[in-house]
Structure 1
Amino acid sequence: MLAGAAAAIAAPGDAPPLARITDLSEPLAPAGNPGSWATNDDYPTGAMLEGREGTSGFRLTIDSSGKPTACEIVSPSGHADLDAATCRLVLERARFKPGADARGKPVGGTYSNRIRWQIPAGHRHFPDGGGVGLNAMLEGWPRPALPTPETTTIRPADHYPAAALAAGEEGEVRMMLSVDAGGAVTDCMVTGGSGSDDLDNAACALMRREAKFVPALDGNGKPTAGRFVMDYQWKLPVVATPDEAELADALGELPRKRVPQFPMSEPATGSFSIVINADGSVGACDFAVKGANAAMPQGANLCDLLGGKNRYAPFLDAAGKPVARRIVLTTDLSIGDVPTVEATTK
């Protein structure tokens, strides 16, 4: 009995049992919203003027501090200036939360995504003969719904409303489209009229009937309902016509085009309030608009863009101590009478 007990006691030179090591590894991840790395204002001027578009796929090499050190175009857009702008922008703006190895030590890695370059609103490129105007956005998620190639090639000549055609009416219609998780248009609201009710109504009817979308993606990359701002240009088809003098004699008077309405023709208000906590995290956030002219492109919400899990450098008080602050932005679009001054004579 004593001999057995003695045998169970480890000899002084034996090694202790190995401790279990906890795996502390974590993947590398963007520190902010990748959608902020490239904006409409970054579109290369030459490409915009020439109407050149494309998608640039890139891969970044990230060091252990979370800073990109190299960019490689892995899927070219077909245009050197778009690809060059892609790498320049992501190297300047992209920042990451470093990954960690099994012992929790920060490590770098690689990250891949792509930027889809399309002519931004305000510099819209409409196809010859009119049709859908295209905007620019970063592919990734969350992101809004995107029109399919079939939708972007819907031509007005095939769908022109008869009354507008007879009246010689042309114009651009801006619409807010509601798109379900399957990519179908469920609702349409005109937010910028062409000056012709016939063209405005026909544009919405056309989108409901013909338009198809790649569904919006939520923060987890899953299809979800979303909204899309669509610009559509009605342009009269070019047809062979008799001599203008003969046409004028036959009609008595050539059709007159309706003058489009000023784009900011309705009152609107907007307010944005956000709290930045002392640790740089985002607190309460509120964004509200009233009136079509206050709506943001693609139905965006400033709280989605600037709030959420974003972190910022905190505000400092007079002693240099971090403090919480509330930022408030308000806008007011009003329309009023112009005072008239009556001329007087002596």
Structure 2
Amino acid sequence: MRVLTVNAGSSSLKLRLLGPNDEVERSTDAEPGVDLEEVLRAWPAPEAVGHRVVHGGTRFTEPIVIDTGVRKELEDLTALAPLHQPKSLAGLDAVTAQLPEVPAVACFDTAFHTTIPQAAATYAVPGEWRERYAIRRYGFHGLSHAWCSARVARFTGARRIVTAHLGAGASLAAVLDGRSVDTTMGFTPLEGLVMATRSGSVDPGLVLWLEEHEGLSPREVAETLEKRSGLAALAGKADMREVLAAAGRGDAGAVLALDVYVHRLAAGIASMAAAAGGIEALAFTGGVGEHTPEIRARAAERLAFLGLAVDPARNDTNEGEITAAGAAVRTLVVPAREDLEIARGTRAALR
């Protein structure tokens, strides 16, 4: 089955056409204003369309064929992901308008994490809040974590795996026997690691203090934590390549940014190892995870007590195993292929 995968981002629509054997037949990032009809007319016709949808709430735990009712339910989840869900829906609507007769399937970033136990999913807040507002730790990047962990399991036979999706957004997952048992993102994608422009976890008391003592509105605080924090706040640059270059020149802000980033990353990996009952393999994926050997090396150095070590020569890669000789834990670099996970889910839903 030929599947068109659709990944709607903040400023582009990533389209990839996969053939029956998952070969890439066409690929493009459709920028704003592009004539989508013209693009798709020039491509072979897909037999199905798979959409990455950021939030599935507690309702959607696996890929599902989209109909009018499902589309409405996805829209109803916007309050849980106001920055991301509208983009997913906009991509869905744009492609459906061009391919109205082709079956479409929603594949969810949250679905992989619906298996995390209550101990990991539950916030210690009043039960009335948890029930009324569906407050829990949802986790995100599930399509990437699912693909990456499955690849590592097939390659190494490992049961206890920690996956590190490091990009503009970043999260970790603890995977035990193919199931997510913990992750660093929570009710929103803001929790957890330091990211390009997101703060990651901060003391909630800080947020309340800023609102009360500085008179900042919830919107102002949210905008700042989402778009003007993280690496951008510490180094003045959101792109990890630029941060590394600046740190290499001795820029104090960039040096601090890297130290904070690696500190949070190593602590998070150790936490995920605890959630999985140990660690047999660590996998890096995503733009930073795949292309930044220094980050991988620094994280592994901090985690030597867990049995991690990377070989400097092998670490100079964007795919493959980078484990040092004698290390107890295997370390790998796995290219992100959310499109393949979307295609797999799409075919399964249509079967």
More helix by share: 2
Using structure 1 for the length normalisation, give the TM-score.
0.26
Larger Rg: 1
Compare relative contact order (CA 8 Å, sep 6+) and give the higher one, 1 or 2: 2
More strand by share: 1
Using structure 2 for the length normalisation, give the TM-score.
0.26
